[in-house]
Structure 1
């Protein structure tokens, strides 16, 4: 996450960490895991291809000797929760964004739905931390996407990134080919 290191942001981080630690992370089978996940709203919002890829690569057998038996997450919920509790990432990303955009092309793609990140928080990142909207190589809001843009709207995200990279490529002189 990138956001201003405010008390509210820290509250959200702590909520995400605590929720992650409480989640079910082991199921009796791959089929049961998939069915249980799809009963929950966040998973139902995922693009079908993203969910299939997660089912295939994000889960593993509890016992390697019994690949058709119980499954669990490849990344433990404790490790995932630790990423939310990282006290440095949140602050450093926000504090150094203004310097970063001065030195390399930075592309920002956000979902336009303020589900976890409120609009004023997003605007703070864009306008305050970076030094202004004109500092970005490109800035795009993906329609109808929220914070789960990578898994709920992967095609739209890919198009936004492709457009950004093509614009940069067109603005730079061609490299000599060897």
Structure 2
């Protein structure tokens, strides 16, 4: 299904320095019968956060499949619109903010991304949000799951969090007791990210190089195409001013590496979950293949004694940590299942 796309941006000043967060609002094309056109119409408003090294457009195949499922729903569609937000040092945002980021490489943390979600909610861009008619649901993958969780910190007390649900997809959040229990894959990615190749002669060379290697070669074709379309840019850049020609990554590799240096923020998210699970339904979706994080580490997140009781826990078979990239259709079905849930009972299921 083609998507109707509108572009917006907001500015955050989490640490006193203005950073632009570009966003895209996705709706059904005007010709689609299921289109919801009015900003006051009831429905779910889905806000999506991406993982480290990715960007808002990597959600597009999942959004397409979500709308396709929703259009077949008996009784009419649930979802009014979906929004993808770039972390301020990723994707298009990395280009818009490159002068600041290249001069201050450590200026941004996941709190900036969290700020973007709460700022969007308060901005008026979503239209008037009536809790009885609209549900604002936040969904984040990997580092994006940390971001959407921390965004609730801008609304206090916890009982005043305005989001209807949180959906955390393979979140890098676990009990402090599991600190240091890193998988071999995690250690390898952590070591390779800040030094991996990020310059090629041309976009075609970059595409061929990526396609022949893991993880890119294992991705859904639609996601790979989106990654190549939006994830590569021409040289020179503010990060590589001396490179007069060639192609590099839109998201600088050091920005991607921030995810491996911000463990403290994962624990901030852990503490926030202790506070909000009693007030906001939080759903977990994991990849069934424990490549990046071991099952024991993931399971440590669930702890009713500390307040972490989840509305549902789902594990998707034959997919790993990169759920958005590897299996957007399967992930769309899982998210759609969560959006259709009305009870708060904890459940464990497989798709």
TM over 0.5, shorter chain: yes
- What displacement does 1:100 show? 2.2
Aligned partner (choices 319, 324, 327) of residue 150 of structure 1: 324
Q: Distance in 2 between matches of 1:124 and 1:115?
A: 16
Aligned partner (choices 184, 198, 208) of residue 25 of structure 1: 198
Residue 13 to residue 97, structure 1, CA distance change in 2 (3 Å)? farther
- What displacement does 1:90 show? 1.9
Of the two structures, which has the highest relative contact order with CA contacts closer than 8 Å and spacing of 6 or more? Answer: 1
Aligned partner (choices 32, 39, 42) of residue 212 of structure 2: 39
Give the secondary structure class of the aligned counterpart of 1:102. coil
Give the secondary structure class of the aligned counterpart of 1:23. coil
Which residue does 1:80 correspond to in 2? 256
- Aligned-residue CA RMSD (Å): 2.6
- What displacement does 1:95 show? 2.8
Contact kept, 8 Å, 2:232 with 2:249, in 1: the verdict is yes
Give the secondary structure class of the aligned counterpart of 1:125. coil
Which residue does 1:126 correspond to in 2? 302
Contact kept, 8 Å, 1:111 with 1:149, in 2: the verdict is yes
- What displacement does 1:79 show? 1.1
Q: Which sections of structure 2, spanning at least 5 residues, go unmatched?
A: 1-171, 238-244, 344-351
Bigger proportion of residues as helix: 1
Alignment of 1:100-139 (within 5 A): 100-127=276-303, 131=307, 135-139=309-313
Runs of 4+ in 1 over 6 A off after TM superposition: 10-14
Contact kept, 8 Å, 1:97 with 1:129, in 2: the verdict is no
Aligned partner (choices 235, 240, 244) of residue 62 of structure 1: 235
Give the secondary structure class of the aligned counterpart of 1:22. coil
TM-score, normalising length: structure 1: 0.80
Aligned residues: 164
* Offset from partner CA, 1:48-78 (integer Å, 9 cap, x none): 00000000011111148xxxx5211111111
- What displacement does 1:129 show? 8.2
Q: Which sections of structure 1, spanning at least 5 residues, go unmatched?
A: 172-178
Contact kept, 8 Å, 1:17 with 1:81, in 2: the verdict is yes
- What displacement does 1:7 show? 2.1
Q: Distance in 1 between matches of 2:305 and 2:270?
A: 6
- What displacement does 1:86 show? 1.2
